[in-house]
Amino acid sequence: CTSGTQIHTELVELGGLEAITLEPPQWPVSDDTVLHLATAEGLATGWLEGEALLQELAQRYVTAMSDMEGRKPGPTSILGTSQLRPGEPAGYRIPFNPTGTGCGAAMRSLAIGLRY
């Protein structure tokens, strides 16, 4: 919906902001949101840099993939995160996927600008 008036009307019908509880399953978030939050949380550690930060991000992505019930991560996300090996030397590196598609990386990158 692109109508501010309609959005406000529907909000009133829901009982206003105070009446809304943003909890699944009524208000689910997407796989991209889950992985975006993993990025943001990893970057928000503040004190990690370099390899330690990359390992932290890899671990958060692997952990986030266990929260995909009811979501639809694409094959590129599934393959990429399955190749991560946090804790191993360079375990945050995965091979380039020439057949990878989608824009998930772009959707998960906003938090990078918030840190840097």
Amino acid (1-letter code) at residue 27: W
* 67 assigned to a ligand binding site: no
**How many Cβ atoms from other residues are within 10 Å of residue 35's Cβ?**
24
Crossing angle between the packed helical segments 75-82 and 50-64, to the nearest 10 degrees: 130
Task: Provide the annotated binding site.
Answer: 30-32
Task: Provide the annotated binding site for Mg(2+).
Answer: 30-32
